[in-house]
Amino acid sequence: MERALSIMGWFRRSSDAVASVPALSSAQAAQLGEEIARLAQAGLPLPAGLRALADEAPSARLRRTLQVLAHRLELGEPLQQALSKAGHQLPAYFRTLLVSPAACQRLPRLLSAQLEEERRAHQLLSEARAAAVYPSLIAGLFFLVFCGLIGLLARPITAITHEFELDLPSSTELLDALAEHGATMLLAIVVGAAASWLAMRLVLPRRRRHAVLKLFPLYGPLWRYLNLARWTRTVAQLVDAEVALPEAVRLAGDATGDADLAGASRDAARQLEHGAPLAIALGSLTAFPSWLGPTLAWGANHRQLPAALLAAGDALAARTRRQISLITVALPALAFVVVIWGGAFLVTAAFLPLIKLIETLT
């Protein structure tokens, strides 16, 4: 009886531990799957191996996940069942790869490729964010200087022109209006932007929000191409592991974290399950490029679908890099234009009244 109560308590503590562990990132999940695959391939006992890995895990959440899985395996649970109970921590496509009957020999390679894909995506996003740092700093500093000069110049210039009854140039009138109502205008813009963002989150479904974000200049296409590249490569891995194509399409969409692409993947998977050709299933959805469906259909017809998917992923990754190059060039140029325009506006607004005053006095 005491033994039974002890086992029940152990199960309860293990379940509570799983519930309390935060969800792993995709990179952490890939690392977890890769380590499990290596242990299984080497024939080592999984519980002891997972505990050893937990001691060396770089993050607390990965350490907790490894410990919980080791507990469950020590209780005699099969790996598939232990992983299914950690469903909120592991992406669905990782669980599918880990329990795929055809993945025994290829699993380490597949998970290593997925981990490398996550690292590549993280590096590209880091490059895109880094490209915005310098222009943002320049624009921010100029904005502060611009606001300070408006406050210093507007009132003296307006007082002089009123004293000599001069007509204000339009640029000086705008300068005076910014000095008087600029803070209110800035507050209105900030409140309006926050209200628009909140309304979009409350009104639009997540899939539609992500579709709208892809319309933003520069970074919208970058996000689209990056997620499509991840999608094609993930489908290639799943198909190579002999996962059914509709399920592979659905799981790859969920793996991207892009609600628009995930919804389109579910729609395409339903069409595939009803017998629609791959070209039609993808071609009818705007989330996929028009050329992707025919390219993958050719690969499927020639029994080269994984290779076609990887080739499409390479093409989309190249587009992603071109978009990053465009961002790297466009943002500094845009910041330069803003600085030049702002400086020209201040010089015009400040000196035109003085020139007119000198002409009047002479």
Instruction: For residue 312, give the nearest of 255, 247, 233 by alpha carbon.
Output: 233
The verdict on residue 322 lying in a domain is yes
Tell whether 58 and 198 lie within a shared domain.
no
- pLDDT at position 271 is 94
Tell whether 164 and 297 lie within a shared domain.
yes
Tell whether 66 and 154 lie within a shared domain.
no
Reply yes or no on whether the pLDDT at 44 is more than 80: no
Over residues 251-256, mean pLDDT = 83
The verdict on residue 96 lying in a domain is no
The verdict on residue 286 lying in a domain is yes
Reply yes or no on whether the pLDDT at 17 is more than 50: no
Over residues 78-94, mean pLDDT = 63
Tell whether 112 and 228 lie within a shared domain.
yes
* Contacts with 79 (C-beta within 8 Å, 6 or more apart), sequence order: 36, 40, 46, 73, 98, 99
Tell whether 165 and 306 lie within a shared domain.
yes
Instruction: For residue 220, give the nearest of 333, 320, 118, 77 by alpha carbon.
Output: 320
Reply yes or no on whether the pLDDT at 61 is more than 80: no
The verdict on residue 64 lying in a domain is yes
Q: How many CB atoms neighbour CB 77 within 10 A?
A: 17
Tell whether 171 and 245 lie within a shared domain.
yes
Amino acid residing at 200: M
- pLDDT at position 155 is 76
Instruction: For residue 251, give the nearest of 81, 91, 93 by alpha carbon.
Output: 93
Over residues 36-64, mean pLDDT = 78
Tokens at 28, concatenated? 């952490």
Among the candidates 56, 90, 124, a domain finishes at 90
Here the contacts of 235-240 (C-beta below 8 Å, separation 24 or greater) are 235/309, 236/305, 236/306, 236/307, 236/309, 236/310, 236/313, 237/97, 237/110, 237/113, 237/114, 238/93, 238/96, 238/97, 239/305, 239/306, 239/309, 240/106, 240/110, 240/306
Residue 41 pLDDT class (50, 70, 90 cuts): low
Residue with tokens 């910041």: 335
How far apart are alpha carbons 235 and 255 in whole angstroms?
10
Residue 174 pLDDT class (50, 70, 90 cuts): confident
Planar angle of CA 356, 361, 362, nearest 5 degrees: 100
Answer with the residue of higher pLDDT: 265 or 56.
265
Tokens at 333, concatenated? 């140029």
Over residues 284-292, mean pLDDT = 91
Tell whether 44 and 185 lie within a shared domain.
no
The verdict on residue 47 lying in a domain is yes
Tell whether 46 and 170 lie within a shared domain.
no
Tell whether 133 and 85 lie within a shared domain.
no
Q: 299-322, pLDDT tens digit by residue? A: 888 889 989 999 999 999 999 999
Residue 22 pLDDT class (50, 70, 90 cuts): low
Q: 98-124, pLDDT tens digit by residue? A: 655 555 456 656 666 777 777 788 888
Reply yes or no on whether the pLDDT at 19 is more than 60: no
Reply yes or no on whether the pLDDT at 73 is more than 50: yes
Tell whether 142 and 219 lie within a shared domain.
yes
Tokens at 85, concatenated? 């109970």
The verdict on residue 45 lying in a domain is yes
- pLDDT at position 116 is 76
Tokens at 182, concatenated? 């600029």
The verdict on residue 187 lying in a domain is yes
Reply yes or no on whether the pLDDT at 18 is more than 80: no
Over residues 343-347, mean pLDDT = 87
Give residue 231's domain range.
107-362
How far apart are alpha carbons 107 and 41 in whole angstroms?
9
- pLDDT at position 14 is 39
> Does the pTM of the predicted model rise above 0.85?
no
Planar angle of CA 41, 98, 88, nearest 5 degrees: 135
Amino acid residing at 329: V
Among the candidates 90, 116, 135, a domain finishes at 90
Reply yes or no on whether the pLDDT at 193 is more than 80: yes
- pLDDT at position 240 is 82
How far apart are alpha carbons 323 and 152 in whole angstroms?
41
- pLDDT at position 95 is 60
The verdict on residue 49 lying in a domain is yes
- pLDDT at position 267 is 95
What percent of the chain clears pLDDT 90, i.e. is strictly above it? 22
Structurally, the chain folds into a number of domains equal to: 2
Residue with tokens 């990053």: 324
Tell whether 210 and 346 lie within a shared domain.
yes
How far apart are alpha carbons 362 and 357 in whole angstroms?
9
Among the candidates 90, 122, 145, a domain finishes at 90
Tell whether 210 and 356 lie within a shared domain.
yes
